[in-house]
Amino acid sequence: MAILPILKFPDPLLKERSVRVESVTPEISALIDDLLDTMRSSPGGVGISAPQVGILKRIVAIDVSASKRGGQQENHGLLVLINPDILARGGKQIVREGCMSIPDYTANIQRAQWVLVDALDRSGKQVILEAVGLEAVAIQHEADHLDGVLFLDRVTSVKTDVFRRKKYR
């Protein structure tokens, strides 16, 4: 297991579409472990995608359970989602998002309040789950990475919705 370097904007790999994972091999399992180590090493990090470490595979890891931004309620704990597909979404909310790949900025982004997701878990078993609140936001954010979309691509107004990030201590 290892902490992998995070690609930073404007690295062109962050704008690429990731490929589907055909099966959960030992290499995919090792990548998942590395993603988890990398996510946990980042202060305030609640999610990570394989493209953020330069691997264009459709894999994300999310855990909002320890977040002070509302993750303690209504969440599934640690999620590893392979080939996640958002089947449905509903409601609207404006949330302040940040990203390990864009460390100096946050922005107000409109996201769905809930999502229904179809994916494979880390053992390769199909899971369908509904997520709400911060967990739904994290799933949408990480799924965007798999399609080469960054949160800055979803900003309505750079002038009023983008902010310098506060430094973590």
3-state secondary structure string, 35-79?
HHHHHHHCCCCCEEEHHHHCCCECEEEECCCCCCCCCCCCCCCCE
| pLDDT band, very low/low/confident/very high, at 106 (cuts 50, 70, 90) | very high
Distance CA 42, CA 44 (A): 6
Residue 104: per-residue pLDDT: 94
Residue 70: per-residue pLDDT: 62
pLDDT above 60 for 168: no
Q: Where are the domains of the chain?
A: 12-164
E-strand stretches of the chain: 47-49, 59-62, 79-90, 93-99, 102-111, 114-120, 126-132, 162-164
pLDDT above 80 for 119: yes
Identify whether 26 is preceded by a cis peptide bond (ω within 30 of 0).
Answer: no
Annotated active-site residue in 27, 74, 130, 142: 142
What proportion of the chain, given as a percentage, has pLDDT over 90?
A: 87
Fold of 12-164: Peptide Deformylase (3.90.45)
Residue 165: per-residue pLDDT: 85
Contacts 24+ apart (CB under 8 A), 31-35: 31/55, 31/57, 31/59, 32/59, 32/61, 32/80, 32/122, 33/1, 34/1, 34/2, 34/3, 34/4, 35/4, 35/59, 35/61, 35/80
Which residues, in sequence order, are CB contacts of 152 under 8 Å at separation 6+?
Answer: 9, 102, 105, 107, 162
Question: Other CB atoms closer than 10 Å to residue 33's CB: what's the count?
Answer: 15
What proportion of the chain, given as a percentage, has pLDDT over 70?
A: 95
Residue 71: per-residue pLDDT: 56
User: Mean pLDDT across the chain, nearest whole number?
Assistant: 94
The pTM (predicted TM-score) of the whole model is 0.94
Distance CA 45, CA 5 (A): 14
Q: What is the pLDDT of residues 39-90, one digit of tens each?
A: 999 888 899 999 999 999 999 999 999 876 665 567 999 999 999 999 999 9
As a whole number, mean pLDDT of residues 137-156 equals: 97
pLDDT above 70 for 155: yes
142 catalytically annotated = yes
| pLDDT band, very low/low/confident/very high, at 9 (cuts 50, 70, 90) | very high
Residue 162: per-residue pLDDT: 95
